[in-house]
Amino acid sequence: MRLFIFTVLLVVATAIEFKVKKDGKVCALLTLNGALDLEATQQETLISKSELKFEKATLIESSTCNLIKLNLTSSAEMWFQFDAAQKDWKVTPVSLFVPESVFGKDVNETDPVTLKASSLELFPQDGYYKCNSASEFSFVPETETVEFNYTVKAKVSDFQIQSADGDDFKTKGKVCAADKKPSEYMCKNGNKTIIMMEGNFTLAITYLNVTGANVTENIIVPAPEDADTEGVCDEKATTESLSIGFFKTWAIHFDFKKKDSNFFISNMSVTYTFDDNLPHHAANGSRTVELPISTEYLKASTKGYYICNSELDKSNEGVTLTSKNFKYRAFDEKSAGFDGDVSECSADESSSSVVPIAVGAALAGLVVIVLVAYLIGRKRSRKTGYESV
């Protein structure tokens, strides 16, 4: 039974692949998952609807290298039309169907309807376009329909398309925005980014090596795109958390609290494992070390964010966490990001006050010089007996 469920899941999760051949050679490729959803309405009343899964689709023989045609049922098709736009492809999804065959007798239109969706982002002709994340193509009729209105949407995932010679997808191409790797450590709730953190973190870990000596290893915490960041950031909560995961089992964990109109870090810990990152380690297993922090550590207003470009560090039990160019914001229910009131660490404030102090000192110097020059000038004019008014 368990094996059966596993097999079914595997089938569902695998995208279907289509290959168009010309003279026996593959010249266009398409993989996708999902379904085409069709609805027929009359004066906003739903008359009938239908879902056509892509896993049942077949490639229509008249497809060309620049027009991939899928047969969804005997009377519904979805096409991908390639038009050259200088060195790029502009791909337009097209859908065609005969209403009566798709919806049944209640929708008695027998003339085929053609609909088009907005084109995909342009991508190089010698590359692919790829979007693993779920996306939607919304199709709009080419000509206005009379008796019925049709809403046609393709819900697509694991999508990849190409029109270029070769059995496989090329090694380069365009990736949709939703698939791009994050450039910040973050926690999202729906489409809102509630916690955002930036910074260059390093860990210094002192441990006993097999020769019985204490050694210190410096570890650079991977950038957001190479880390596995997870968080808890429910809407309206007063505690949130963020874990920057890396090296499979290592993590830096932050808890945040909100009090009045401020937020701050309430707990900070480091989890590490005696693995290849700590060469010749004597002990085995994982350890979690809580770092001692002051109450309301790195506090900022909920109207803004906290910043500390200078180095910050905290140590405990042979573990030191250091940050540089650190910035964070939590409880950001409006997804404002790094915008608004800035709370700065004192180290940054004293370095940023160097410029005003220098300017002030220069001005004071200038006043003294002018004063001295004036006094000397006055003395000289007295000597010559020349009296000014």
Ligand X SMILES: *[C@@H]1O[C@H](CO)[C@@H](O)[C@H](O)[C@H]1NC(C)=O
What values do phi and psi take at 229, rounded to 5? -85, 135
Distance CA 311, CA 347 (A): 8
Among 48, 64, 66, 71, binds ligand X (CB under 6 A): 71
Nearer to ligand X, 123 or 246 (CB): 246
DSSP one-letter string for 36-95: EEEEEEETTEEEEEEEEEGGG-EE-TT-BTTEEEEE-SSSEEEEEEEEEETTEEEEEEEE
User: Which range touches ligand X (CB under 6 A), out of 116-124, 284-292, 306-314, 343-351?
Assistant: 284-292
By CB under 6 A, residue 200 contacts ligand X: yes
CB atoms within 10 A of CB 284: 8
Q: What angle do CA 312, 316, 322 make, to 5 degrees?
A: 25
Helix and strand tally (H, E) in the chain?
4, 26
How near is the Cβ of 108 to ligand X at its closest, in Å?
A: 4
By CB under 6 A, residue 198 contacts ligand X: yes
Among 191, 346, 384, 388, binds ligand X (CB under 6 A): 191
> How many positions of this chain bind ligand X (CB under 6 A)?
31
User: Which range touches ligand X (CB under 6 A), out of 114-122, 130-138, 172-180, 283-291?
Assistant: 283-291
Q: Supply 109's token pair.
A: 């239109």
Nearer to ligand X, 283 or 375 (CB): 283
By CB under 6 A, residue 388 contacts ligand X: no
Task: From 54, 55, 45, 67, select the one nearest 8 (Cα to Cα).
Answer: 55
Distance from chain centroid for Cα 223: 13
By CB under 6 A, residue 327 contacts ligand X: no
Distance CA 136, CA 59 (A): 21
Site string for ligand X, 97-136 (x = CB under 6 A): -----------x----------------------------
Distance CA 11, CA 93 (A): 25
Distance CA 36, CA 323 (A): 49
Nearer to ligand X, 18 or 123 (CB): 18
Burial of 161 (0-12, 13-18, 19+ CB in 10 A): buried
Amino acid (1-letter code) at residue 31: T
Q: Supply 22's token pair.
A: 């010309």
By CB under 6 A, residue 238 contacts ligand X: no
How near is the Cβ of 181 to ligand X at its closest, in Å?
A: 12
**Binding to ligand X, residues 141-160 (CB under 6 A):** 147-149
Element of type H or E holding 172? none
How near is the Cβ of 52 to ligand X at its closest, in Å?
A: 11
Among 8, 84, 213, 363, binds ligand X (CB under 6 A): 213
Task: From 1, 192, 34, 161, select the one nearest 92 (Cα to Cα).
Answer: 161
Among 41, 81, 92, 315, binds ligand X (CB under 6 A): 41
By CB under 6 A, residue 350 contacts ligand X: no
By CB under 6 A, residue 26 contacts ligand X: no
Nearer to ligand X, 89 or 250 (CB): 250
Binding site for ligand X (CB under 6 A): 41-43, 60, 71, 74, 108, 147-149, 190-191, 198, 200, 209-215, 223, 253, 267, 269, 280, 283-284, 288, 290, 325
